[in-house]
């Protein structure tokens, strides 16, 4: 096949920029990346044939600026601009500017984006096209009394949505009339702040909701097809976490109804390119053909598009490029088929045990399972910066059946190792083992919230993790001739490590021939034999079961302390080998101090030394990535010291406020 363009520019960053570059290169198309100050060394810049600097680190100074991006395309001789998702991808003014510059926008027309850009207008349009929409009020009136009356008419619970919303922002579920006014005000504030538009609509909150969406594709010749559905019901705060295709429990009758509604929707706006029609589906019983309603259309390539690629064998980016150049759709509807089942899990730098706050930091170690498709925009050594979405990768698996694809996802997640920043990997691993989800029946968008405590629970540190941390932190070498005799002048080593601020006291005994014994733990001694160390990889045989254990330990030195991340089966545990001279200064008694929950800036302090405070009292606020988090007293007591000031940039874990020690009872 001929190539649609000679050169394209990708107006994005991260995994999606890398993803687009990959297909372009496979098609023989040259690529131009754009980058901000923060991304000069980023993977997408390294992969592209050329790269142009477009501005400062903040998205508003670079990836959201149409002018330097279009100028970069013109100077490098690119013929088309692929917008990825997010940033300028659904901005009709950008599409107009690209077209006026004589370039091709890889995506729908500005007109189609405008028609679907606001959720209220999109619902009206769909109603006219005969597509079922979620019942609610999506008119012009915005007075609180009027909307509250509409909510009563719709029937509680209702969902207030910012009409310009995206990424789950500007949405509030309201259970009872008494809460309506406050929820409205807060949705309006968030809509105004995030999208510059406070206008809302009010919808019936569908009980036991499943999020099922249809991938559509149109061309410039009036053709439109669908590429079946994706189920994105595993969500946290209205944001997708694990997606799959096809949807479990889907019936032929419902699929026919949903896909034909989706194609009708696409045709109603002469849609060209890749798009997604999102529906909410009644999941309170078996799926029914009359139990689905249009929510919104995303006029771009979707984050979770790989699951559709996996089950159809279509490269959606290749289709986007061909169609944008004017070619007809490569396949007709009857040529498209579902083969097997696929999952995608979104791996983020965020801390589930800390309210899922976004995390930043350097990826000291990053490795993926070779058994999965891993779409990523970062490598080992790269930083997760506070400026952009903290996604590390999407882990995608495909197999003949849902059970096999889910088992493959679990295995792939267990083989994914990230050190240096908190991630949701363990949470994803727990989710992939959830019974309701595995059964594929009766799960809905509330599953994560209902089970969140169990999903974020972290099993206690194992003796194996402690042993591996010690081996790595102490630089033990089983091949050294003296191993097992007198590595530290004694075969008996007193080990002091710190985990989550708690001291771990063990004895490490060299028993000869590459074997060690760890004693002093509550679960009894651990023996490892056949110890082999190859760079960060440590393998050994364990105890009576003679199981092969495998772990990666990554050591970085901060000040004089050595930080070890032990990675095993998708689980990461960070331990500290404190500088012996400091006498274990890194031990923190969390009942006596308030530490920074993440790296950020102190924006307020409402307490001072000498104050008596109640348990749970708000003592200040820290901000990171535009999110504010309260600093809260761990118990009642008297403040002895405040070791930070307003405006300070503090590291996650740093002690900020100390309380007087409690007198022993």
What is the set of active-site residues? 300
Should residue 150 be labelled a site residue for ligand ADP when binding is judged by CB under 6 A? no
Tokens 């056949």 correspond to 530
Min dist. Cβ of residue 336 to ligand ADP (A): 21
Q: Kind and range of the H or E element at 316?
A: helix 316-324
Q: What is the DSSP string of 474-520?
A: HT--TTSTTTTT-TTSSSEEEEEEEETTEEEEEEEEEEETTEEEEE-
Whichever of 202 and 473 has its CB closer to ligand ADP, that residue is: 202
* Identified binder of ligand ADP from the candidate list 244, 296, 309, 382, rule CB under 6 A: 296
Residue 418's Cα: distance from chain center in Å? 14
Whichever of 262 and 567 has its CB closer to Mg ion, that residue is: 262
Whichever of 318 and 389 has its CB closer to ligand ADP, that residue is: 389
* Identified binder of ligand ADP from the candidate list 78, 97, 261, 295, rule CB under 6 A: 295
Binding residues among 276-295 for Mg ion as defined by CB under 5 A: 278
Should residue 240 be labelled a site residue for ligand ADP when binding is judged by CB under 6 A? yes
Whichever of 94 and 195 has its CB closer to ligand ADP, that residue is: 195
Min dist. Cβ of residue 302 to ligand ADP (A): 4
Query: Which stretch in 275-283, 345-353, 370-378, 516-524 sits in contact with Mg ion by CB under 5 A?
Result: 275-283
Residues ≥6 apart with Cβ < 8 Å to 466: 495, 497, 504, 506, 518, 521, 575
Should residue 278 be labelled a site residue for ligand ADP when binding is judged by CB under 6 A? yes
Cα separation, 175 vs 195, in Å, equals: 25
Query: Which stretch in 162-170, 327-335, 398-406, 629-637 sits in contact with ligand ADP by CB under 6 A?
Result: 162-170
Residues making up the chain, counted from first to last: 665
Binding residues among 397-416 for ligand ADP as defined by CB under 6 A: none
Residue 12 binds: one of ligand ADP, Mg ion, none (C-beta under 5 to 8 A by kind): none
Binding residues among 174-193 for Mg ion as defined by CB under 5 A: none
Q: Kind and range of the H or E element at 318?
A: helix 316-324
Whichever of 50 and 278 has its CB closer to Mg ion, that residue is: 278
Cα of first residue to Cα of last residue in the chain, in angstroms, is 81
Whichever of 266 and 605 has its CB closer to ligand ADP, that residue is: 266
Should residue 364 be labelled a site residue for ligand ADP when binding is judged by CB under 6 A? no
* Identified binder of ligand ADP from the candidate list 49, 68, 132, 166, rule CB under 6 A: 166
Should residue 172 be labelled a site residue for ligand ADP when binding is judged by CB under 6 A? no
Are 78 and 9 contacting, i.e. CB atoms less than 8 angstroms apart?
Answer: yes
Whichever of 161 and 373 has its CB closer to Mg ion, that residue is: 161
Per rule CB under 6 A, count of chain residues that contact ligand ADP: 29
CA-nearest of 330, 314, 274, 321 to 8 is: 321
Measured at the CA of 23, the angle between CA 18 and CA 26, to 5 degrees, comes to 120
Should residue 134 be labelled a site residue for ligand ADP when binding is judged by CB under 6 A? yes
Tokens 């059964």 correspond to 439
Burial class (CB in 10 A: 0-12, 13-18, 19+), 544: exposed
* Identified binder of ligand ADP from the candidate list 109, 215, 302, 374, rule CB under 6 A: 302
Min dist. Cβ of residue 402 to ligand ADP (A): 21
Whichever of 278 and 569 has its CB closer to Mg ion, that residue is: 278
Min dist. Cβ of residue 296 to ligand ADP (A): 5
Are 85 and 13 contacting, i.e. CB atoms less than 8 angstroms apart?
Answer: no
What binding mask, one character per residue, do residues 78-97 give for ligand ADP by CB under 6 A, x or -?
-------xx-----------
Are 496 and 504 contacting, i.e. CB atoms less than 8 angstroms apart?
Answer: yes
Are 220 and 319 contacting, i.e. CB atoms less than 8 angstroms apart?
Answer: no
Cα separation, 646 vs 632, in Å, equals: 16
Min dist. Cβ of residue 466 to ligand ADP (A): 37
Cα separation, 291 vs 286, in Å, equals: 10
Cα separation, 159 vs 201, in Å, equals: 8
Should residue 168 be labelled a site residue for ligand ADP when binding is judged by CB under 6 A? yes
Measured at the CA of 514, the angle between CA 509 and CA 519, to 5 degrees, comes to 25
Should residue 159 be labelled a site residue for ligand ADP when binding is judged by CB under 6 A? yes
Min dist. Cβ of residue 565 to Mg ion (A): 35
Where residue 341 falls (left for φ over 0; alpha for ψ -120 to 50; beta otherwise) is: beta
CA-nearest of 312, 257, 320, 249 to 85 is: 320
What binding mask, one character per residue, do residues 188-207 give for ligand ADP by CB under 6 A, x or -?
-------x-------xxxx-
Whichever of 209 and 218 has its CB closer to ligand ADP, that residue is: 209
Whichever of 165 and 415 has its CB closer to ligand ADP, that residue is: 165
Per rule CB under 5 A, count of chain residues that contact Mg ion: 1
* Identified binder of ligand ADP from the candidate list 209, 273, 484, 578, rule CB under 6 A: 209
Label each residue of 579-626 as H, E or C: CHHHCCCCCCCCCCEEECCCCEEEEEECCCCCCEECCCCEEEEEEECC
Min dist. Cβ of residue 225 to ligand ADP (A): 20
Should residue 445 be labelled a site residue for ligand ADP when binding is judged by CB under 6 A? yes
Cα separation, 212 vs 233, in Å, equals: 7
Min dist. Cβ of residue 274 to Mg ion (A): 15
Query: Which stretch in 235-243, 311-319, 473-481, 656-664 sits in contact with ligand ADP by CB under 6 A?
Result: 235-243
CA-nearest of 343, 374, 301 to 105 is: 301
Query: Which stretch in 75-83, 274-282, 303-311, 466-474 sits in contact with Mg ion by CB under 5 A?
Result: 274-282
Kind of pairing, strands 7-10 and 80-82? parallel
Min dist. Cβ of residue 207 to ligand ADP (A): 8
Min dist. Cβ of residue 586 to ligand ADP (A): 36
Min dist. Cβ of residue 278 to ligand ADP (A): 5
Strand partners, 555: 564
Cα separation, 530 vs 532, in Å, equals: 6
Whichever of 211 and 322 has its CB closer to ligand ADP, that residue is: 211
Whichever of 344 and 351 has its CB closer to ligand ADP, that residue is: 344
CA-nearest of 135, 134, 441, 439 to 287 is: 441
Are 521 and 467 contacting, i.e. CB atoms less than 8 angstroms apart?
Answer: no
Residue 445 binds: one of Mg ion, ligand ADP, none (C-beta under 5 to 8 A by kind): ligand ADP
The token pair that represents 509 in the structure block: 């005994």
Min dist. Cβ of residue 169 to ligand ADP (A): 6
Cα separation, 148 vs 289, in Å, equals: 31
Should residue 303 be labelled a site residue for ligand ADP when binding is judged by CB under 6 A? yes
Are 398 and 344 contacting, i.e. CB atoms less than 8 angstroms apart?
Answer: no
Query: Which stretch in 137-145, 271-279, 426-434, 578-586 sits in contact with Mg ion by CB under 5 A?
Result: 271-279
The token pair that represents 28 in the structure block: 């023989």
Q: Which residues bind ligand ADP (CB under 6 A)?
A: 85-86, 134, 159, 161, 165-168, 195, 203-206, 209, 211, 235, 238-240, 278, 280, 295-296, 298, 302-303, 389, 445
Q: Which residues bind Mg ion (CB under 5 A)?
A: 278
């Amino acid at each position: 096949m001929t190539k649609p363009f000679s050169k394209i520019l990708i107006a994005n960053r991260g995994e999606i920029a890398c993803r687009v570059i990959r297909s372009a290169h496979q098609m023989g198309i040259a690529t131009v990346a754009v980058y901000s100050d923060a991304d000069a060394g980023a993977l997408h810049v390294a992969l592209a044939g050329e790269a142009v600097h477009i501005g400062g680190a903040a998205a508003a100074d670079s990836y959201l600026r149409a002018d330097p991006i279009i100028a970069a395309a013109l100077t490098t001789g690119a013929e088309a601009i692929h917008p990825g998702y997010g940033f300028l991808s659904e901005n009709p003014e950008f599409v107009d500017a690209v077209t006026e510059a004589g370039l091709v926008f890889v995506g729908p027309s500005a007109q189609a984006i405008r028609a679907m850009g606001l959720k209220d207008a999109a619902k009206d349009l769909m109603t006219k096209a005969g597509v079922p929409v979620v019942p609610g009020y999506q008119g012009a009136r915005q007075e609180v009394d009027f909307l509250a009356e509409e909510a009563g008419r719709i029937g509680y619970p209702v969902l207030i949505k910012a009409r310009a919303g995206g990424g789950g922002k500007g949405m509030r579920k309201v259970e009872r009339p008494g809460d309506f006014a406050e929820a409205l005000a807060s949705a309006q504030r968030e809509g105004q702040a995030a999208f510059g538009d406070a206008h809302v609509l009010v919808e019936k909150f569908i009980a036991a909701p499943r999020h099922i969406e249809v991938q559509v594709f149109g061309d410039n010749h009036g053709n439109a097809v669908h590429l079946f559905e994706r189920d994105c019901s595993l969500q946290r705060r209205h944001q997708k976490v694990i997606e799959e295709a096809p949807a479990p429990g889907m019936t032929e009758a419902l699929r026919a109804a949903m896909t034909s509604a989706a194609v009708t929707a696409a045709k109603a706006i002469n849609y060209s390119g890749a798009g997604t029609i999102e529906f909410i589906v009644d999941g309170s019983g078996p799926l029914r053909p009359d139990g689905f309603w249009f929510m919104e259309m995303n006029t771009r390539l979707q984050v979770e598009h790989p699951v559709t690629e996996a089950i159809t064998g279509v490269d959606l980016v290749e289709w986007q490029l061909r169609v944008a150049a004017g070619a007809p759709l490569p396949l007709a509807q009857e040529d498209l088929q579902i083969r097997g089942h696929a999952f995608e899990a979104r791996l983020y730098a965020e801390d589930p045990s800390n309210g899922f706050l976004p995390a930043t930091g350097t990826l000291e170690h990053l490795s993926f399972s070779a058994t999965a498709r891993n779409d990523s925009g970062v490598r080992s050594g790269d930083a997760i910066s506070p400026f952009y979405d903290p996604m590390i990768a999407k882990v995608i698996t495909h197999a003949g059946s849902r059970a096999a694809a889910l088992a493959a996802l679990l295995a792939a997640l267990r083989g994914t190792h990230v050190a240096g920043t908190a991630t949701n990997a363990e949470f994803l691993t727990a989710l992939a083992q959830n019974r309701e989800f595995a059964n594929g029946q009766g799960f809905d968008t509330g599953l994560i919230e209902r089970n969140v405590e169990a999903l974020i629970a972290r099993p206690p540190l194992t003796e194996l993790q402690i042993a591996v941390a010690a081996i790595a932190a102490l630089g033990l070498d089983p091949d050294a001739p003296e191993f097992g005799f007198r590595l530290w002048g004694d075969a008996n080593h007193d080990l002091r490590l710190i985990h989550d601020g708690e001291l771990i006291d063990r004895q490490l005994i060299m028993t000869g021939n590459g074997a060690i014994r760890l004693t002093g733990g509550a679960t009894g001694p651990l023996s490892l034999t056949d110890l082999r160390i190859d760079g960060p990889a440590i393998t050994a045989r364990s105890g009576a079961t003679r199981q092969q254990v495998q772990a990666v330990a990554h050591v970085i030195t901060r000040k004089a302390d050595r930080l070890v991340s032990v990675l095993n089966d998708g689980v990461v545990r960070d331990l500290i080998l404190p500088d012996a001279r400091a006498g274990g200064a890194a031990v923190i008694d969390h009942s006596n101090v308030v530490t920074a929950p993440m790296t950020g800036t102190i924006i307020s302090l409402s307490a001072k030394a000498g104050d008596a405070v109640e348990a749970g009292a708000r003592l200040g606020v820290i901000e990171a990535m535009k999110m504010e988090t309260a600093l809260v007293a761990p118990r009642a007591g008297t403040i002895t010291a405040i070791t930070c000031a307003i405006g300070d940039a503090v590291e996650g874990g740093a002690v900020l406020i100390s309380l007087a020690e409690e007198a022993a009872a």
